[in-house]
Structure 1
Amino acid sequence: MSHVVLLGDSIFDNRVYVSPEPDVRDQLQTRLGSDWRVTLLATDGHVTADVRRRQLQRMPKDATHLVISVGGNDALGHASILGERAGSVAEAVERLAQAQSSFAAVYSDMTDAVIQLGIPSAVCTIYDANYPEPQRRLVVTALTLFNDVITRTAFSRGLPLIDLRLICNDPADYANPIEPSAQGGDKIAAAVAAMVRGDMTGRLVSSVWV
């Protein structure tokens, strides 16, 4: 039996935000069917470092596929930068660059720890979220720095990438500004199911050569 393990934060661990509707884990299990097992290790509120320090310690020995969606809470931890005063654009960019550099170190370490397990793995970008304007514009722009880290890490290590920015593209995909609704969760589950099965029929699939 194939066994998918979901790692990360509330993008996968969204039950509290959608109950009594199904969460991402249940939606993925339904899509994959009885020949597959789905385990949720992702935990609402966890940051990237928690994947390595806490979630990987509970990895089932029979896991065959890993999917990781994490980084949003790391970005939230640096959100105060957007409200800080700066003497110049260069000063503001430098603060954002420091946040990106800090995230890159942690995300790289986490990804390498996952790869060392020798289990086929994929990572997800941080989606754009559903804040009202003009806040959304600022958040989406700042998130490009974190998503650049995720995409570079995935591409440099040959990992599949699920781009949640393109998947959760409807306000109804969100239960609140930062959590997936049942509709959004089902779209995420559909993408994960297609990826682990290798079924890309009717999907936009890109290749990155490095």
Structure 2
Amino acid sequence: MSHLVLLGDATFDNGAYTAGGPAVISQVRKRIPVGWRATLVAVDGATIADIGAQLARLPADAERLFLSVGGNDLLQQADILGAPVTTSAEAFDLLGAAARRFEAAYRDMLRPCLQIDRHMAICTVYSGNFPEPTLQRLAEIALAPFNDAIIRIGVEHGLTILDLRLICSAPADYANPIEPSAIGGGKIAEAIVSAAKNDKTRLRSARIIG
């Protein structure tokens, strides 16, 4: 029997945004094989700093961890997009410095997770669904170095990486600019269960699912 546990933020804890539709955890439970279990530990609004507290609430028989976190950390740094600069090099430097801080925090957060499941799955931060085309393009560009850090860390540790930019790629996948709808949640759930079913060998080899 496998016990899947979802850690992180509203990417998984999206029940408040589905307008009565099924949340990610409900859709995961409908898709997993008989005898498997799935538990939601993720909390809407959580940041990288909150994952330690979530690990303290893990079920004793947790076997397979899925983690989606970082989006709220990036929202807290959104003012970078409006920071005054005189050259494009200064803008890149600001973004690069923020990405380096993010990567360091993500690495520190991930270390105790790997002690529980050294072949866990992690998620990139999706691009969202902003109504203004310019803001959407800026979000996609600004997210790139942070998602690069997540992917690089995942590859280094041989983890499964769910690229949510590819999984949640249509407007209907979002209930608002930054939260997954029931439709998007269904796609996320499908990716989670597919990763869990196909990860039988637990080989130390990274793979990206999108």
Q: How does 1:45-194 map to 2 (within 5 A)?
A: 45-52=45-52, 54-118=53-117, 120-132=119-131, 133-194=133-194
Q: Which residue identity is paired with 2:11?
A: I
2:6 and 2:39 in contact (8 A); partners too:
yes
1:27 and 1:189 in contact (8 A); partners too:
yes
Q: Distance in 1 between matches of 2:13 and 2:100?
A: 27
Note the C-alpha offset of 1:19: 3.9
Q: Which residue identity is paired with 1:110?
A: M
In percent, how many aligned pairs have the same letter?
48
Q: Which residue identity is paired with 2:98?
A: A
Q: Distance in 1 between matches of 2:158 and 2:32?
A: 24
- Cα distance per residue 1:139-192 (max 9 Å; x no partner): 110000110110000000111111111111110000000000000000000010
Normalising to structure 2: TM-score of the pair?
0.92
Consecutive unaligned residues of structure 1, counting only runs of 5 or more, are 200-205
Counterpart secondary structure, 1:82? helix
2:103 and 2:149 in contact (8 A); partners too:
yes
Q: Which residue identity is paired with 2:155?
A: F
RMSD: 1.7
Post-superposition, which runs of at least 4 consecutive aligned residues in structure 1 deviate over 6 A? none
Counterpart secondary structure, 2:65? strand
Consecutive unaligned residues of structure 2, counting only runs of 5 or more, are 200-205
- Count of residue pairs the alignment pairs up: 202
Q: Distance in 2 between matches of 1:131 and 1:164?
A: 16
2:119 and 2:160 in contact (8 A); partners too:
no
Counterpart secondary structure, 2:56? helix
Q: Distance in 2 between matches of 1:195 and 1:174?
A: 22
Measured at CA, do residues 130 and 118 of structure 1 come closer, stay the same or move farther in structure 2, by a change above 3 Å? Answer: closer
Q: Distance in 1 between matches of 2:118 and 2:156?
A: 17
